[in-house]
């Protein structure tokens, strides 16, 4: 399976600032996704990152708050904008290849907003 | 009603025990089903896909009952290293291939 890395692995940020998280895959993949895992909770899908077009956001998530880029088939970024303590969470990217519903996850970015 | 429901546990079992986890899903149009394992402070890792015919991988057996919208995972001869949270995962967003996760069942295998 693909090797997925995320940067940064963790960060502590002040409220009102923004953080951009990078997801890099060592091979081309068809699909990339961004999830959030709040403390003690399971994963919630934020959006599907589409190469060359706007991301597809799930209910409750909007582009102004979580802008996403996907310039090619191996890289995507998620920005958490105008952060508040409620955004403290683990953010994970995942990938899937053509024809498969199986997804593989990056190691996650642990964000704390103070 | 949650889209994917699991008993949160924890399940505390001795080494060598057999343990079963159950999961129900609400969307009858769901197409693909998985069990993921998540260790503390780590990302989820795919344990196995679940097929209608049932499938087995070593000590792990997964079953799917589409009529009852029910998925199960059986772990035989539990090892200490099996201690983790087991996530029931369903694709119910059609062609978008995104996944919906259950809240997870925590397993603690004790010596």
Q: What is the DSSP string of B73-86?
A: EEE-S--GGG-EEE
Residue B103, chain A, CB below 8 Å: the answer is: yes
* B43 part of contact set with chain A, CB < 8 Å: yes
Query: pLDDT in tens for each of the 114 residues of chain A?
Result: 789 999 999 999 999 999 999 999 999 998 899 999 999 898 999 999 988 889 999 999 999 999 999 999 999 999 999 999 999 999 999 999 877 788 999 999 999 999
Quote the pLDDT of residue B94: 59
Q: List C-alpha distances in Å: B11 to B6, B21, B61.
A: 12, 9, 17
Q: What is the distance in angstroms between the Cα of B110 and the nearest Cα belonging to chain A?
A: 22
Question: Using an 8 Å Cβ cutoff, are A77 and A14 in contact?
Answer: no
Tell me whether B45 touches chain A (CB under 8 Å).
yes
Would you call B101 and A42 a contact, using CB atoms and an 8 Å cutoff?
yes
> Which among A92, A102, A106 is the nearest to B46, CB-wise?
A102
Residue ranges in chain B whose pLDDT is less than 70: 93-97
Return the residue in B3, B43, B86 with the most chain A beta carbons within 10 A, the one to mutate for interface testing: B43
State residue B93's pLDDT score: 61
Nearest CB partner across the interface for A103, out of B42, B99, B104: B99
Cβ-based interface (< 8 Å): residues of A facing B: 31, 33, 41-45, 48, 56, 58, 92, 96, 101-108
Q: Which of B32, B49, B98, B102 to mutate to test the interface with A (most CBs of A within 10 A)?
A: B98
Q: In chain A, which residue's Cα lies nearest the Cα of B91?
A: A101
pLDDT confidence of residue A34: 97
Nearest Cα neighbor of B102 from B30, B35, B13 is B35
Mean pLDDT of chain B: 92
Cα(B67)–Cα(A79) distance, integer angstroms = 41
The pLDDT tens digits of the residues spanning B81-93 come to 999 999 999 987 6
| CA B87 – CA A59 distance, rounded (Å) | 22
Tell me chain B's radius of gyration from C-alpha atoms: 13
pLDDT score of B4: 93
């Amino acid at each position: 399976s693909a090797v997925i890395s995320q940067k940064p692995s963790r960060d502590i940020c002040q409220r009102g600032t923004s953080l951009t998280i990078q997801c890099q895959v060592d091979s081309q993949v068809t699909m990339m996704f961004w999830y959030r895992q709040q403390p003690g909770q399971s994963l919630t899908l934020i959006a599907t990152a589409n190469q060359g077009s706007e991301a597809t956001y799930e209910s409750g998530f909007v582009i102004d708050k979580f802008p996403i880029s996907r310039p090619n088939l191996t890289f995507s970024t998620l920005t958490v904008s105008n952060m508040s303590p409620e955004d403290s969470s683990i953010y994970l990217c995942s990938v899937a290849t053509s024809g498969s519903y199986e997804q593989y996850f990056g190691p996650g970015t642990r964000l704390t907003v103070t | 009603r949650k889209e994917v429901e699991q008993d949160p546990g924890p399940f505390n079992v001795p080494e060598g025990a057999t343990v079963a986890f159950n999961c129900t899903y609400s969307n009858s149009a769901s197409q693909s089903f998985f069990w993921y394992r998540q260790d503390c402070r780590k990302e989820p890792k795919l344990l196995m896909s679940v097929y209608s015919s049932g499938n087995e991988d070593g000590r792990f057996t997964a079953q799917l009952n589409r009529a009852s919208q029910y998925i199960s995972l059986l772990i035989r001869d539990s090892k200490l290293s099996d201690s983790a949270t087991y996530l029931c995962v369903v694709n119910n967003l059609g062609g978008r291939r995104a996944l919906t996760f259950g809240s997870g069942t925590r397993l603690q295998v004790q010596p």
